[in-house]
Structure 1
């Protein structure tokens, strides 16, 4: 009976296990293998170079700027996305007539095609686009948002925030609706104001959701590609060249597949370290009711 139960358990997890092996572990191993080689598709050569690509990684003059752009993009996206999502969730957690319409409006960009959304914003943010047209109506001359280093990164971050803020908003809204109302009633009896209720009750009770959304948002921000490719192509200069786009350039534009694989390993390590740090922080910042 024990063997039959074990066999049944393995059968149930077999599809997921096969998926992980096929689409995660094997590709990860191949990427590491390719990072030890120089693969020139055009010349049809595949040469073992050892740690040469990793030495090139340490000497790459563009890498510090690329990592800085990635950090700025991730920090801006995470702070704006989660702050705005929590604010919207608190405002929409009300029993008011028509509130469902507003929830739907804020969530609707999530289901819109990413490419279509980005293309529309690329037109709006041009020098003669819709944003500057609205600013001109009130006497303000807007810049060419996507062609200036001072505004390009901000524009990309805002476009991404508006696209995905609805997803975190729904997660926060679900968490808020799961907070026991008796806690607020007891706090009001004790004389606690709304801000104190939010700080002492709401935030601790939804902290598991905050941890989840932070991990999802940070990992997603480090994997952004389509927005950069459509809006700025990494420019002006390398001011918006994040690590994934730089990886794409090296591997698929310059045909340095070995070095592109090395950059993939670097991206994997960054995501793994950040996820591990956040997971360890849960012991201090996450409140579990049980």
Structure 2
């Protein structure tokens, strides 16, 4: 038989609940205050301009003069725009060349530099230095290195009896040359990420695999790779997004040429906006790239469960 609750007890319980609610309210307010600078910055500098660019993409927006509402006409025009198709194909080819080469080379370097030997710090630093080097400086240097006659690369090839091509002036070699230059620029970042992930793999697993007779290659395939799949997933996402947004190397080294062989989507957006001053059409191009990256990210996030291993 339950005893009746006194009036004082009810008041005590009510006051306790009020204090608890007030405490939660203060915690919630404190949390919002802490993140408010980031929210304000994101709204002013990211979300606001994004919405305004969407608004611009629905207009014919000249640099001077009044804007004219077109609806989705800018997006319809993309279907018959041969330059857009070419730039999109070049962007996909660039990404398909850069992402696998970057990740494989970074993983190979991380595997080699995981071991301790004399001078390891020098090699790690040398590979990472291009990451912090100015992109424009890096591209200018490589533009001269790949020069047809006086370039260092062709001089080295001539030294062994090979007649080097005109790397940046040939439609067949210009895009691969920019891919290689871009890989060498950023491979150090992925190498550091892989190196950190490999160092977190418990040594006991390698010892157990060695006792079972597993070779080094089998240990790498069955122990290392599964445990660093979260890092592989991360590097794949950031490297692909970076490749799809390639601009600096193209602008400095080829200006989209020869012909349109290296004209990628971001370069076409820049050219449309700041050479032809078609801001509305350029905004539509930018949103096409945005949705391509969004779809890629969502698909990658969904299928990651099939191959990314998480300890928990």
Cα deviation for residue 28 of structure 1 reads 1.2
State how 1:149-228 maps to structure 2 within 5 Å: 149-228=171-250
Aligned residue number for residue 274 of structure 2: 252
Of residues 130, 153, 170 in structure 2, which corresponds to 1:148? 170
For 1:1-290, what aligned pairs fall within 5 Å after superposition? Answer: 1-41=23-63, 43-128=64-149, 129-290=151-312
Return the alpha-carbon distance in structure 1 between the equivalents of residues 189 and 275 of structure 2.
33
Alpha-carbon distance in structure 2 between the residues aligned to 1:124 and 1:102: 22
Question: Cα offset for 1:277?
Answer: 1.2
2-structure distance, mates of 1:287, 1:16: 32
Deviations 1:188-221, CA, capped at 9 Å, x for gaps: 1111111111111100110100011111100111
CA distance in 1, matches of 2:240, 2:310: 22
Q: Distance in 2 between matches of 1:19 and 1:90?
A: 40
Structure 1: runs of 5+ lacking an equivalent? none
- Return the alpha-carbon distance in structure 2 between the equivalents of residues 133 and 270 of structure 1: 41
Q: CA RMSD in A?
A: 0.9
Alpha-carbon shift at residue 23 of structure 1 (Å) = 2.2
1:45 is displaced (CA, Å) by 2.6
TM-score, length of structure 2 as denominator length: 0.91
Distance in 2 separating the partners of 1:211 and 1:70: 21
2:67 aligned counterpart, secondary structure: strand
Mapped to 2, the partners of 1:23 and 1:279 lie a distance apart of 26
For residues 34 and 304 of structure 2, the distance between their equivalents in structure 1, rounded to whole angstroms, comes to 30
Please report how far the alpha carbon of residue 40 of structure 1 lies from its aligned counterpart in structure 2 after TM superposition: 1.2
1:156 is paired with a residue whose SS is helix
- SS of residue paired to 2:147: coil
Gaps of at least 5 residues in structure 2 are 1-22
Higher CA-based Rg: 2
Note the C-alpha offset of 1:24.
2.0
- Which deviates more, 142-151 or 18-27? 18-27
58-67 vs 109-118, greater mean Cα deviation? 58-67
Runs of 4+ that moved beyond 4 A: none
- What CA deviation, in whole Å up to 9, does each residue of 1:89-125 have, x standing for no partner? 0000001121111111111111111100100001111
The CA distance in 1 between the partners of 2:44 and 2:205, in whole Å, is 47
Deviation at 1:126, TM superposition (A): 1.2
CA distance in 2, matches of 1:281, 1:15: 34
How far is 1:16 from its partner?
A: 1.7
In 2, Cα distance between equivalents of 1:181 and 1:210 = 20
SS of the residue 1:150 aligns to: coil
